[in-house]
């Protein structure tokens, strides 16, 4: 580095570790928050810490190959190219755009991996239904019959239906027939009664002699 006197001055720029840690923490939270906003499926997904989950050996979920499927690591990749000029010019807008792109790709990869994992678990337990060429509402009734439905404390249905955007666009203009609607309501009501019965059994007090 050349000084005012024409000589060369050597300088060493140091960045405190606290600054780096703070920046990484901010970036991690920013990417996570943006990803959950950009991808509603990810945003509506609950979370558990690793310490709250059972050890893999205690809750095996064998797949077709015999490997445990309860736990799975997900590999996410993203290529981020930084222009030196943007850094020197403190181009905040470009940086925030890069952060948004990172969050979008991060969330998209994570959702795809989650859906793939769920599909594999369902396949291993013969919990898949072939909907090709069938009426959507007939498939929906069969799905309701097959799967375990969940309800909140007031008995409201909490099970969510995950659809591809193209599929949703095709069925959004269609309505079930009166007979289909009655059958679906009957299945949901029966499942709600079963759920309530399970809750009542869990709440029975223990009587000791």
CA torsion angle 109 112 117 121 (round to 10)? 180
Predicted confidence band at 204 (pLDDT cuts at 50, 70, 90)?
low
Predicted confidence band at 202 (pLDDT cuts at 50, 70, 90)?
low
pLDDT over threshold 80, residue 11: no
Predicted confidence band at 133 (pLDDT cuts at 50, 70, 90)?
confident
Each residue of 90-128: pLDDT tens digit? 999 999 999 999 999 999 999 999 988 888 888 888 778
Q: What is the pLDDT of residue 165?
A: 80
């Amino acid at each position: 580095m050349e000084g005012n006197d024409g000589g060369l001055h050597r300088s060493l720029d140091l960045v405190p570790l606290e600054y780096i840690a703070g920046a990484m923490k901010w970036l991690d939270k920013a990417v996570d928050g943006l990803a959950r906003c950009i991808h509603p499926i990810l945003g509506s997904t609950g979370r558990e810490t690793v310490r709250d989950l059972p050890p893999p050996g205690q809750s095996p979920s064998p797949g077709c190959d015999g490997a445990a499927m309860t736990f799975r690591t997900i590999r996410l990749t993203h290529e981020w190219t930084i222009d030196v000029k943007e850094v020197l010019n403190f181009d905040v807008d470009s940086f925030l755009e890069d952060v948004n792109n990172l969050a979008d790709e991060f969330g998209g990869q994570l959702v795809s991996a989650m859906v793939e994992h769920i599909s594999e678990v369902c396949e291993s337990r013969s919990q898949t239904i072939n909907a090709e060429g069938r009426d959507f509402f007939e498939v929906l009734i069969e799905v309701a019959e097959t799967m375990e439905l969940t309800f909140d404390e007031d008995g409201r249905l909490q099970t969510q239906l995950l659809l591809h955007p193209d599929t949703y666009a095709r069925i959004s203009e269609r309505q079930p027939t009166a007979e289909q609607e009655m059958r679906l309501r009957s299945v949901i009501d029966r499942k709600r009664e079963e759920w309530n019965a399970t809750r009542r059994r869990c709440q029975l007090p223990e009587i000791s002699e």
